């Protein structure tokens, strides 16, 4: 079954991590997915990671969708404007789903430093990459949805609340994504376009696997370094969460809300690719919060 066959999606920041997982699972559901990011074959971004948008697009197609890679720097207005002009032309004005997953803040976050000792340049660049880019992308992408009076925008974030996340600049970026979804939902309601924020749990991304010195095959060994890693989830879990939201005919009822992979897996019944249903919310409240008391 391909519940999203014939649907058109743009996943902004789909080179790796959650963005790649989202794009690939939208492909599994049959969607046409524009895969955007800065890393292309032969021209990697400043992140210096090996993953590319071409690889992601090929994974989308291999899962049964149509993957279309387009090199876009989402902090550059002309790049973003050109992207949606192309989508409009190639898809006859159709855009059903926009996922804002642009991040690029990991190498900029200086954990353990108060904000006045943190690099101001890095902190401001984080806002440009993770907040300004989302605003730019939504500004142009949503115009296609409003014209057709349908569509869904998903802001990918970290956490479901407004609590401090251990670093001022990181917190500002992640909380801003939640408020962007809330604010857009208010403006978009009369046009029958929805906007939500969505967070994964402990994401078992390519970078995190490298950090723990493990692979997807032996990932549980990472729990010897951090016991909470045992409750982690693959990027495909949030991908299935996005696919479930996109296929929900009543998704407008969720507009403006901050959602989680574990909450949606309980509601919609989807699993991670190994058949499990990680529930970071339960793990966090049982173990992590107790450690912090």
- How do strand 66-71 and strand 97-100 relate by DSSP bridges? unpaired
Phi, psi of 155, rounded to the nearest 5 degrees: -95, 115
Active-site residue, from 34, 169, 170, 237: 170
Cα–Cα distance measured from residue 19 to residue 14, given in angstroms and rounded to the nearest whole number: 4
Cα–Cα distance measured from residue 240 to residue 229, given in angstroms and rounded to the nearest whole number: 20
Pair of tokens at residue 2: 């391909």
Cα–Cα distance measured from residue 6 to residue 167, given in angstroms and rounded to the nearest whole number: 42
Q: Classify 11 as helix, strand or coil.
A: strand
Q: How many helices, marked H, and strands, marked E, lie in the chain?
A: 11, 7
Does the annotation mark 170 as catalytic?
yes
Residue with tokens 């876009």: 72
User: Which residues on neighbouring strands pair with residue 67, listed in sequence order?
Assistant: 33
Q: Would you give the DSSP letter of residue 287?
A: I
CB 47 within 8 A of CB 125: no
Cα–Cα distance measured from residue 216 to residue 158, given in angstroms and rounded to the nearest whole number: 22
The total of other beta-carbon atoms located within 10 Å of residue 217's CB is 8
Cα–Cα distance measured from residue 56 to residue 200, given in angstroms and rounded to the nearest whole number: 19
Task: Give the catalytic positions in this structure.
Answer: 170
């Amino acid at each position: 079954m391909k519940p999203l066959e014939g649907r058109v999606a743009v996943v902004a920041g789909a080179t790796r991590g959650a963005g790649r997982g989202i794009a690939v699972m939208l492909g599994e559901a049959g969607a046409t997915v524009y895969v955007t990011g800065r890393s292309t074959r032969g021209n990697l971004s400043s992140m210096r990671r090996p993953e590319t948008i071409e690889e992601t697009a090929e994974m989308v197609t291999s899962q049964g969708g149509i993957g279309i890679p387009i090199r876009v720097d989402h902090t550059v207005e002309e790049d973003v404007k050109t992207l949606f002009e192309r989508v409009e032309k190639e898809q006859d004005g159709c855009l059903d789903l926009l996922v804002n997953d642009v991040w690029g803040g990991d190498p900029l976050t200086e954990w353990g430093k108060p904000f006045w000792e943190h690099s101001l340049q890095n902190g401001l660049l984080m806002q440009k990459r993770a907040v300004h880019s989302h605003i730019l992308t939504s500004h142009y992408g949503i115009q296609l949805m409003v014209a057709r009076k349908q569509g869904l925008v998903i802001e990918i974030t970290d956490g479901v609340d407004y609590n401090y996340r251990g670093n001022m600049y990181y917190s500002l970026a992640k909380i801003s994504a939640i408020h962007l979804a809330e604010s857009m939902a208010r403006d978009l309601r009369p046009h029958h376009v929805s906007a939500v924020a969505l967070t994964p749990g402990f994401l078992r991304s390519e970078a995190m696997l490298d950090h723990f010195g493990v692979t997807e095959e032996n990932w549980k060994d990472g729990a010897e370094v951090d016991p909470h890693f045992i409750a982690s989830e693959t990027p495909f879990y949030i991908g299935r969460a996005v696919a479930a939201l996109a296929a929900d005919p009543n998704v407008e009822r969720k507009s403006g809300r901050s959602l989680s992979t574990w909450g949606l897996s309980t509601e919609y019944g989807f699993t991670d690719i190994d058949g499990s249903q990680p529930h970071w919310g339960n793990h966090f409240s049982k173990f992590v919060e107790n450690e912090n008391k």
